[in-house]
Amino acid sequence: MKRRWIAGAIGALMLALAACAPGGGASGRQEETAGKVTLSLWSWRVEDVKAYEKILAKFEDSHPNINVEFKPFQATEYNNILATGLSGTAGPDVAQLRAYGGLQPLVEAGQLLPLDDKVEALSGFDAKLLEGAKGHTDGKVYGVPFAYQTLQVLYNKKLFADNGIQPPATWDDMIAAARKLKAAGITPFAVAAGPDATWTLPIVHEIFGNARYGSTAFRDAVVGGKKKFTDPDFTASVKLIKDLEPYFPEDVVAVKIPDVQALFATGKAAMYPTGAFDLAPVLKANPSLEVGQFPVPPPPGSPVTTPVTPGWADGSFGVNAKSTHQAEALELVKWMATPEFGQLYATELKQLSAVPGVTPSDPLLAEMAKNYAGNGAPYTLLVDFRYGQPNGDAVFRDEVQKMLAGQADPESVSESVQKGVEQWFKPGN
């Protein structure tokens, strides 16, 4: 009796263990039917499943032997899931890749296929955007860029009209407008510096300060080791944020992103310095909002005298070096470099496609794309200084928040950033 009991317990335990074991028959790649290959495509865009299915259906129409399975993961977990997936055998064939420093760990681990001589269309891509898909040390391209972001000020057209304000042509016009709005009880700039918003502070700095620190020329000088972040021009660009603080919401250090989105969407704030990515959420919160955009006119003393639109590549699609269907995977990423994909992507997802020659259907996005094409510049702390720890962007956002909390001044912000990146950054590579 006792013996049978024990046998039962062991049996139950075995069952439990079998249930825990990974990779049962059902998961993993689907069985190929009649020579048809199924590619798995991994992404961090859980919210875009429908759009991707629509886009990929077009690809499947023109490539009847290939089936693409779109598999999105939680964005915050994606990096770890992808790194693990690529190192095993159950990984994706094609994967959405982070840009710049976010791509580097995968490149260094040798998990991706270089695409330089495999996807010819890459040579036609914007060189600034292509950098986001390159290995930092080997300079090879590991992905086909899919989107980019631009930074500018969104504004509420009705509030501007009601207060007799035009999109500013000079920095002084902008300050005068802000003063007028504040006097009318409207928050001039919807800026958040609260717990969830520190990452937006370098973006705010780029929007107002890119021209002031010298834009691309300064970036090249810093990357080449000819200048440092302690440069007076960079410090002056940091000081702009402090100078603009009176026009931000009160107690800005406690204000969160949803707060400023609500302020702007409900017409309590007139201007929203942010990326193209915020256009959709703002319009979702208030579809009747009339939104315009302008690149910030250069402040007095700027080395650059035309308004700059900073931007960066959002990410790319690359091929798993271990994929068993490399030929088909390459077909897919090649297609992702065509205007057909670019146009579908831009229309379905309301984003700026990185494929050359694609114009967004949304007029506002089209303006942003035009500004970037005309006078775009890299958001250097993201583009160049996220390859080591501490990343320049992370040090900068903490220090700017300190400055807004009254615990640092522009000089110490610049010094901290320089000190942070010096821990790993060697000029010239």
* Distance in angstroms (rounded) separating the CA atoms of residues 223 and 375: 20
Q: Which is nearer to other proteins, 66 or 197 (CB)?
A: 197
Q: Which is nearer to other proteins, 9 or 217 (CB)?
A: 9
Nearest approach, Cβ of 365 to other proteins (angstroms)?
Answer: 28
Nearest approach, Cβ of 420 to other proteins (angstroms)?
Answer: 6
End-to-end CA distance of the chain: 74
Nearest approach, Cβ of 179 to other proteins (angstroms)?
Answer: 21
Cβ neighbours of residue 376 closer than 8 Å, sequence gap 6 or more: 128, 150, 308, 309, 310, 311
Which has the closest alpha carbon to 198: 393, 392, 379? 393
Nearest approach, Cβ of 258 to other proteins (angstroms)?
Answer: 9
Q: Which is nearer to other proteins, 267 or 292 (CB)?
A: 267
- Token code pair at residue 52: 């991707």
Nearest approach, Cβ of 395 to other proteins (angstroms)?
Answer: 6
Nearest approach, Cβ of 388 to other proteins (angstroms)?
Answer: 5
Amino acid at 32: E
Q: Which is nearer to other proteins, 13 or 57 (CB)?
A: 13
Q: Which is nearer to other proteins, 323 or 401 (CB)?
A: 401
Q: What is the DSSP string of 29-42?
A: SPPP-TT-EEEEEE
| Greatest CA separation for the chain | 92
349-375 burial code (b ≥16 CB/10 A, e <16): bbbbbbbeebebebebbebbbebbeeb
* Distance in angstroms (rounded) separating the CA atoms of residues 50 and 408: 46
Nearest approach, Cβ of 223 to other proteins (angstroms)?
Answer: 17
Q: Which is nearer to other proteins, 78 or 160 (CB)?
A: 78
Q: E strands, 98-255, where?
A: 144-156, 187-189
Q: Which is nearer to other proteins, 110 or 139 (CB)?
A: 110
Q: Which is nearer to other proteins, 328 or 398 (CB)?
A: 398
Nearest approach, Cβ of 222 to other proteins (angstroms)?
Answer: 18
Strand, helix or coil at 409? coil
Q: Which is nearer to other proteins, 118 or 136 (CB)?
A: 136
Cβ neighbours of residue 427 closer than 8 Å, sequence gap 6 or more: 222, 223, 224, 225, 226
Q: Are 143 and 329 in contact (CB under 8 A)?
A: no
* Distance in angstroms (rounded) separating the CA atoms of residues 267 and 115: 47
Nearest approach, Cβ of 75 to other proteins (angstroms)?
Answer: 12
Q: Are 258 and 266 in contact (CB under 8 A)?
A: no
Residues forming the site for other proteins (CB under 8 A): 2-3, 6, 9-10, 13, 16, 79-80, 83-84, 87, 101-102, 104-110, 193-198, 249-256, 259, 262-263, 386-391, 394-395, 397-398, 401-402, 405, 407-408, 416, 419-420, 422-424
